[in-house]
Amino acid sequence: MKPMRVVLLLAAPMFTVVALGQSTSAAPPTIASTVDREISSVEKEIVEAAEAMPEDKFNFSPESLNIPGAGYKGVRTFALQVRHVAASNYALWAPLTGDKIPDDYRGGDGPGNLKTKADIIQFLEDSFALGHKAAATLTAENMLQHPENSKSPRLHLAEFAVAHAFDHYGQMVEYLRMNAIVPPASRRPSD
């Protein structure tokens, strides 16, 4: 290999790391650290949105607005949106960690006995803790392997959980705005 090509090959990772906002002394990103950063991003948005909805509005559903022709009949309440994200996080990330999902976490909306805002947010935060644990299991060697009893590769499960959470975050934002609440991520520093 020619000396100039070797220098360029060695320099490329350094420029990539600098371009990603990392210092050149930091370890290069890994599959695990990259997915973990994505989980942290959606976790921040979802948890802050959940915390922003007042307790007395936690069971709000757009169906209660009775907007003619709006098609909100039967949609989840805000609380169920949050519980659904958490339950889905468990369903998608547990195969990566080997954790057993409790039976009452299954079915899309998580445990029915979670009624208070504090209990639901704790369930949500615990589900993201499992996500960080799941991300830590990912390696370049295993990311395309299927965990036991799964038809999807490990990386897909990890990333789909992030995409799914962002989908529901958008719905949560709408519910906040329908209640005249500016989502935390959209607030100016003076708000």
If one counts every other C-beta atom within 10 angstroms of the C-beta of residue 105, the result is 21
**Domain span at residue 119?**
30-186
Q: What is the pTM of this model?
A: 0.83
Looking at the domain assignment, is residue 123 inside a domain? Answer: yes
Q: Are 84 and 113 in contact (CB under 8 A)?
A: no
Looking at the domain assignment, is residue 17 inside a domain? Answer: no
- pLDDT tens digits, residue range 29-41? 999 999 999 999 9
**pLDDT at 15 (0 to 100):** 36
Looking at the domain assignment, is residue 149 inside a domain? Answer: yes
**pLDDT at 50 (0 to 100):** 98
Please state, in angstroms and rounded to a whole number, the distance separating the CA atoms of residues 60 and 30. Answer: 40
- Residue 170 makes CB contacts below 8 A (sequence gap 6+) with none
Residue 58 — pLDDT band, cuts 50, 70, 90? Answer: very high
Please state, in angstroms and rounded to a whole number, the distance separating the CA atoms of residues 121 and 58. Answer: 11
Which residue stretches of the chain are H helix? Answer: 3-19, 31-52, 78-97, 117-136, 154-178
**pLDDT at 24 (0 to 100):** 56
Please state, in angstroms and rounded to a whole number, the distance separating the CA atoms of residues 43 and 174. Answer: 18
Looking at the domain assignment, is residue 4 inside a domain? Answer: no
How many structural domains compose the chain? 1
Please state, in angstroms and rounded to a whole number, the distance separating the CA atoms of residues 35 and 33. Answer: 6
**pLDDT at 8 (0 to 100):** 37
**pLDDT at 191 (0 to 100):** 55
Residue 169 has pLDDT above 90, yes or no: yes
Task: Return the closest-CA partner of residue 76 out of 87, 68, 84, 65.
Answer: 84
Mean pLDDT of all residues in 43-47: 98
CA 11 to chain centre: 34
* CATH code assigned at 181: 1.20.120.450
- pLDDT tens digits, residue range 96-135? 999 998 888 888 899 999 999 999 999 999 999 999 999 9
Task: Return the closest-CA partner of residue 159 out of 189, 131, 119.
Answer: 131
Looking at the domain assignment, is residue 80 inside a domain? Answer: yes
Mean pLDDT of all residues in 165-179: 97
